Structure 1
Amino acid sequence: AIRDRQAAWVLARHDARLRAEIARGLTTVLRRYAWTGADADCRLWFRMQAEARRLNYEVDRNGNQWAWLGDPAAGDAVVTGSHLDSVPDGGAFDGPLGVVSAFAALDELRSRGVQFKRPFAITNFGDEEGARFGLACVGSRLTAGRLTKEQAYELRDADGVSLPQAMEAAGYDPEAIGPDPERLARIGAFVELHVEQGRALDLSGDAVGIASAIWPHGRWRYDFAGEANHAGTTRLVDRRDPMLTYAETVLSARREAELAGAVATFGKIAVEPNGVNAIPSLVRGWLDARAADQDALDTVIAGIETASRDHAARHGIDLTVVRESFTPVVEFAHALRDEIASVLGEKTPVLGTGAGHDAGILSESIPTAMLFVRNPTGVSHSPAEFAAEDDCVAGVLALADVLEGLACR
């Protein structure tokens, strides 16, 4: 918590009066799920920042927040921002760093006395992590038309609460959600700053980098159905235990990923009836898989499923595999990326990433780019995630330089 609060006030150095609000609203709650009380606190913080800077605040039909400088209807706007929600027990930097840095970069530009020649906005996209409903980037997917209203209405959290029910309880209108091409048509460039989720910049000795591409990635649900029985009286040879097949599948996923130079992770599991003295009737596991190219990812996914079906057949287990989400490889707009590189200098490293982002979702609709800030731990989606004060400031200044080049010249 001390580290989280320190990160918050470091990034708020341009507006010291709001340090306490940032620390309380963004970083001390490490389960910031969509449409919860923690999410509402973060949204209130965003609105306070917008109003304190005399920006025009609005919430779009999908619950994404916007703070505008200039007339959005003029078109060709430059937009920056990220998200404020988190994964379970996540860190303080993934998402909030990009939003807080956006406000700080605007403060920096105003201190330079620059004049904006294009409309400018800061945004907070809702439910980027997908921690509550299991699908990442819901806000940006809806906006870009990559998630339909009907599909969104089918999303439910672990307690059975649907997305529209959660939105309505939080005071938003779920009937309004859906594609927003008119809004996207107003945007000429979107630049997202993010803490690096890896150690490439730490190894190269650079504080800031430019994203080249996002690896193709997706989520698959594996349902292993067996037979519930007594753990103390059922002979091993008489069991149809889905946990064995699940465990063997986890090991197979690791093996297939290693062979392909990819990553594959079973990070979430649900067990029924979930009793210490009961053999499970159902084990449900969620696979996250990513690779540098589509062929490698296809190889990994096919290998895991083949191995899992072999394990299931041997143990008498029924297996169902469902792809819940998928994002193809994202090559960020080369012209925008080159323009950013010319602003920051040719020595600024360009690197790929295995992590998905709103910028990747929006890339099919508008030109997008990303900046990364060094993470010396290399750890993300964990409280150990970190960025040093000097690097955070370097990120704000780099973002300010990029925004000045795009919107003020």
Structure 2
Amino acid sequence: MWAELLPMGRSSASGGYRRFAWTGVDLECRAWFKAQAEARGLAYEVDRNGNQWAWLGDPAAGDAVVTGSHLDSVPDGGAFDGPLGVVSSFAALDELRARRVAFTKPLAVVNFGDEEGARFGLACVGSRLTAGRLSVEDAHKLTDGDGTSLPRAMETAGYDPDAIGADPERLSRIGAFVELHVEQGRALDLSGDRVGIASAIWPHGRWRFDFRGEANHAGTTRLVDRRDPMLSYAETVLAARREAELAGAVATFGKIAVEPNGVNAIPSLVRGWLDSRAEDQDSLDRVVDGIERAAREYAAAHGIDLDVVRESFTPVVEFDHALRDELARILGKQTDITVPVLGTGAGHDAGILSGSIPTAMLFVRNPTGVSHSPAEFATEDDCVAGVIALADVLEGLACS
């Protein structure tokens, strides 16, 4: 399975992946998922929001145990973020069948669409729609960098954009969702453990900073006469680093758009996107407030107009304690070791769904901690350990 997925959407130049929602590469990945489901005799379906499901047993029976992740990527992302969870889910099912276990609950593998938000700027669109945390109206307003709307992209890919929306009936049939993911950090590497259990997801959000100045000639305009928004933006980037360090948090300006974007032209607009995350809400508020305050001071000093828009936000997610403890009990019983429990600053579909159904996560060791990069990596032995851990968990939840 892994070998089949590897070439899909991979850039020959960077070695990273560009698997963006509702593109040809995304459809190729979705076809792969359907083929895996059919090869195992699973009932395949696509829900109203474009998420793919592969069912063992009757979905209508209720109290189903679901596992899976996503197949899309960030720009030039790594091979493991998302796909490892989907591949491991199918592999865990194969392992359970090899054990000849008797399933007492329906089991499903899911591929949630547009988890990374690389194309339309909002993460976890598929799971947000399903959980009712993204309205149909707001979803229809989403556009990509080329101006293509989400409904148009879905329609072009052969899906019905008029069908999207909250799906409480589907969620009501799920008793637990367990997502396996490569760790995006080095906690497991530092502790020497192959597999961990997630405790919580840090609160996090994305903010757009629009610095508006005045376009002019780069070679003839005196420095004192300039209204250059790039200066205010650059100072704000440095302020973000300072504020994050003070709060023990993280803050990143990782995306920028400049107009008119000419080498010999002073910009009229610099638009930067801030991603910030912290262990608790108060810390996150302090960081973002500090960054915005500094940005406004810099903008005023340079005669720049500034608009700050919060584009997305996810509060702290505490995974279901009972389910988390059950995972620890199952894995401790199987391996006779204590499985570490750790928090994460990365968002996931499991976090979005946690307000609607019990969810939990397993992490697989990442020896470098690098993620959202072509250098993202996990060893084969650790990946196999993750499959066995997931199989043990699914057996404990769906076969008891």
- What range describes the TM-score normalised by the shorter chain of this pair? over 0.9
Shift of 1:377: 1.1
* Aligned position for 2:362: 371
* Aligned position for 2:396: 405
Shift of 1:97: 0.1
Please tell me whether the aligned partners of residues 26 and 92 of structure 1 are also in contact (alpha carbons under 8 angstroms): no
CA–CA distance in structure 2, aligned partners of residues 25 and 261 of structure 1 = 38
Q: Does 1:353 align with 2:344?
A: yes
CA–CA distance in structure 1, aligned partners of residues 280 and 91 of structure 2 = 36
RMSD of the TM alignment (CA)?
A: 1.0
* Aligned position for 1:235: 222
CA–CA distance in structure 1, aligned partners of residues 217 and 104 of structure 2 = 71
CA–CA distance in structure 2, aligned partners of residues 224 and 244 of structure 1 = 10
Secondary structure of 2:394's counterpart equals helix
Structure 1 letter corresponding to 2:87: V
* Aligned position for 2:134: 147
* Aligned position for 2:167: 180
Q: Does 1:54 align with 2:41?
A: yes
Secondary structure of 2:81's counterpart equals coil
Q: Does 1:23 align with 2:28?
A: no
Query: What do the CA deviations read for 1:248-281 (whole angstroms, capped 9, x no partner)?
Result: 0000000000000000000000000000000000
2:103 to 95, 116, 120: 116
Please tell me whether the aligned partners of residues 51 and 113 of structure 2 are also in contact (alpha carbons under 8 angstroms): yes
Structure 1 letter corresponding to 2:386: G
CA–CA distance in structure 2, aligned partners of residues 173 and 200 of structure 1 = 42
Structure 1 letter corresponding to 2:6: A
Unaligned runs of 5+ in 2: none
Q: Does 1:128 align with 2:115?
A: yes
Structure 2 letter corresponding to 1:280: P
1:381 to 372, 375, 378: 372
Please tell me whether the aligned partners of residues 209 and 349 of structure 1 are also in contact (alpha carbons under 8 angstroms): yes
Shift of 1:23: 3.1
Alignment of 1:289-308 (within 5 A): 289-308=276-295
Query: Number of residue pairs matched?
Result: 392
2:386 to 383, 387, 395: 395
Shift of 1:115: 1.3
Shift of 1:61: 0.3
Please tell me whether the aligned partners of residues 359 and 369 of structure 1 are also in contact (alpha carbons under 8 angstroms): yes
Query: What do the CA deviations read for 1:88-142 (whole angstroms, capped 9, x no partner)?
Result: 0000000000000000000000000001100110000000000000000000000
Query: What do the CA deviations read for 1:313-372 (whole angstroms, capped 9, x no partner)?
Result: 000000000000000000000000000000111510000000000000000000000000
CA–CA distance in structure 1, aligned partners of residues 103 and 298 of structure 2 = 61
Please tell me whether the aligned partners of residues 189 and 368 of structure 1 are also in contact (alpha carbons under 8 angstroms): yes
Secondary structure of 1:223's counterpart equals strand
Structure 2 letter corresponding to 1:23: L
* Aligned position for 1:253: 240
Secondary structure of 2:7's counterpart equals helix
Secondary structure of 2:6's counterpart equals helix
Please tell me whether the aligned partners of residues 49 and 163 of structure 2 are also in contact (alpha carbons under 8 angstroms): yes
Shift of 1:25: 3.7
CA–CA distance in structure 2, aligned partners of residues 25 and 143 of structure 1 = 27
Shift of 1:27: 6.1
Structure 2 letter corresponding to 1:153: H
Secondary structure of 1:372's counterpart equals strand
Secondary structure of 2:152's counterpart equals helix
Query: What do the CA deviations read for 1:13-69 (whole angstroms, capped 9, x no partner)?
Result: xxxxxx4x3333476771000000110010000000000000000000000000001
* Aligned position for 2:302: 315
CA–CA distance in structure 1, aligned partners of residues 267 and 56 of structure 2 = 56
With the length of structure 2 as denominator, give the TM-score of the two structures. Answer: 0.97
Please tell me whether the aligned partners of residues 180 and 363 of structure 2 are also in contact (alpha carbons under 8 angstroms): yes
Alignment of 1:257-336 (within 5 A): 257-336=244-323
Structure 1 letter corresponding to 2:304: I
* Aligned position for 1:3: none
Please tell me whether the aligned partners of residues 10 and 18 of structure 2 are also in contact (alpha carbons under 8 angstroms): no
Unaligned runs of 5+ in 1: 1-7, 10-18
Query: What do the CA deviations read for 1:132-158 (whole angstroms, capped 9, x no partner)?
Result: 000000000000000000000110000
* Aligned position for 1:64: 51
Report the identity percentage: 82
Secondary structure of 1:127's counterpart equals coil
CA–CA distance in structure 2, aligned partners of residues 328 and 92 of structure 1 = 28
